[in-house]
Chain A
Amino acid sequence: MLGAATKRRATEEQQQTTGDRPAGVTSTEPVTKAVRGAKTIEARDVNLFYGDFHAVEDVTMTIAPNKVTALIGSSGCGKTTFLRSLNRMHELTPGARVDGHVSLDGEDIYGKGVDPVEVRRLIGMVFQQPNPFPTMSIYDNVAAGLNLNSRGVSKSQKDSVVERSLRGAHLWEEVKDRLGKPGSSLSGGQQQRLCIARAIAVEPEVLLMDEPCSALDPLATLAIEDLIAELKNRYTIVIVTHNMQQAARASDVTAFFNLDATGKPGHLVEVGATNEIFTNPSQQQTEDYVSGRFG
């Protein structure tokens, strides 16, 4: 039932979507009440499609709060597509649809009347390529989400959110004297931390990260990994990474996705404690992948 409803809704939205705000749903009722804290994501029988192409098949997994969950797997295995389905970003792609159930602390994020924009506020995303708004100042980059999501925020409130977010992203000390400079003036690693500051400014409960360090040098990567370790105290974190050592270093739980052949849907092979996956995985496919024997 849910699957059929979800498909119908996705199709409707696809027809009506403009820009990055699907217009099919007008309600702005929040997914959850205003209780702060990391939340559990539950994915059940999730299938993802791009038109006729079945990209991800039957993923069922629970993503625990205050933990870093890494999604690993070779290119095309559906891990990024699955990640994007966790905050309804998947549906921004024309022809994309979702079948199955995704809930945040028991509340269906694809439920009737749920505003996808609110979902994306609660479940923030950090992308592979640092993407600060290039012409905006550092300050405005962080305040951008705030401007979109909250009306009537005073300057002093905004100042305090910007400072708190930049501190939370370990960037404050480096930029506090040049908040008016453009975001693009920062180094790659700083830009990525700026994007993390922007994501946490709107007080999400979950942070999704799509290969957040793949464009960064090793030092900037370590800075982001340190930050992730700290952020998990406040958020649920899901990270897609091609870097196996990063998954091993930075995550508590690892989920391995694979596909049987090109053109086949990706599926979840195994999910478990990261130390188990990297020392004694239960599936041969996982063993072969993490040991670098294929892919």
Chain B
Amino acid sequence: MPEIARGEYLEELATLEASALGGLDLVAIALGRTMEAVENQDVELAQVVIADDDRIDGRYLEVHQGLITLLATQSPVATDLRLISALLHVLKSIERMGDQCVNVCKVIPLSGNDAPADPRMVELILKMGAHTRTLIMQAKRAFEERDVEMAQDLVRRDDVVDELNRECFHLALEIGDDADRREWGMTMLLAARAIERVGDNAVDIGEQVAFVVTGLFREFEDASHPS
């Protein structure tokens, strides 16, 4: 009898992992729609993304509850314990990623209905979105395959997103003296910053991959002590 119970527990843990990582697919969809909304200044699509964030939050609550139940009833240890701890962190990252998409979508109405003040800025943000989407999917695959090397490679890809974000900043500085243009520039900068944070969250997930595999937690990059 105990073997059956243990088997169910392992199955349940695997299901919860799949469900948590499935949250990254939801984020990838939300980010894709967010980019489309930015490109077309599509306020309605932005509203869809905002409303749909409930699905990501719901996934968070559901998997979180399942993991807490396993902790309470199965006393997981060793790799299982590390996996559950990592999934709790991953869930938080996914939930934050969803919120960042919402943050971008909330500023779209602020950018007005006129043509973009500087199409180069929009182009940069779309590029950031595309790179970040790749980051999200790579983080998911690295976790599924317990591939530390692939997880560490997220840092390299994230550097590209960071660089694009800096370019956005410089463009915003040069956008001119017109108050409307400056407002638009600042708004776009907020959007770029939110997407840049999604990339960071993907790297955070990569760090959890390394923790599950090695048992050691360390940040791939220490923002307060950059190498």
Contact = CB atoms under 8 A, between A and B. Distances in A.
Interface string B66-110: 000000000111111110000000000000000000000000000
A291 B153 CA distance: 31
B6 interface: yes
Nearest to A286: B78
Interface string B185-227: 0000000000000000000000000000001100000000000
Interface residues of A, number: 13
Interface stretch (A148-156, A211-219, A275-283): A275-283
A245 B81 contact: no
Contacts, number: 30
Given A244-B75, A244-B77, A290-B77, A279 B82 contact: yes
Given A279-B81, A279-B82, A280-B82, A291 B76 contact: yes
A284 B216 CA distance: 17
The number of chain B residues touching the other chain, given as a range, is 10 to 19
Interface in A250-295: 278-281, 286-287, 290-293
A291 B76 CA distance: 6
Q: Chain A's interface: helix, strand, loop or mixed, by majority?
A: helix
> Interface centre among B76, B78, B79, B216, by most A CB within 10 Å?
B78
B110 to A, nearest CB: 47
Contacts of B79: 287, 291
A98 B172 CA distance: 81
B211 to A, nearest CB: 10
Given A286-B78, A291-B77, 18 more contacts: A244-B75, A244-B77, A245-B75, A248-B77, A278-B77, A278-B78, A278-B81, A279-B78, A279-B82, A280-B78, A280-B82, A280-B216, A281-B78, A287-B79, A290-B78, A291-B76, A291-B79, A292-B6
Interface of B: 2, 6, 75-82, 215-216
Interface of A: 244-245, 248, 278-281, 286-287, 290-293
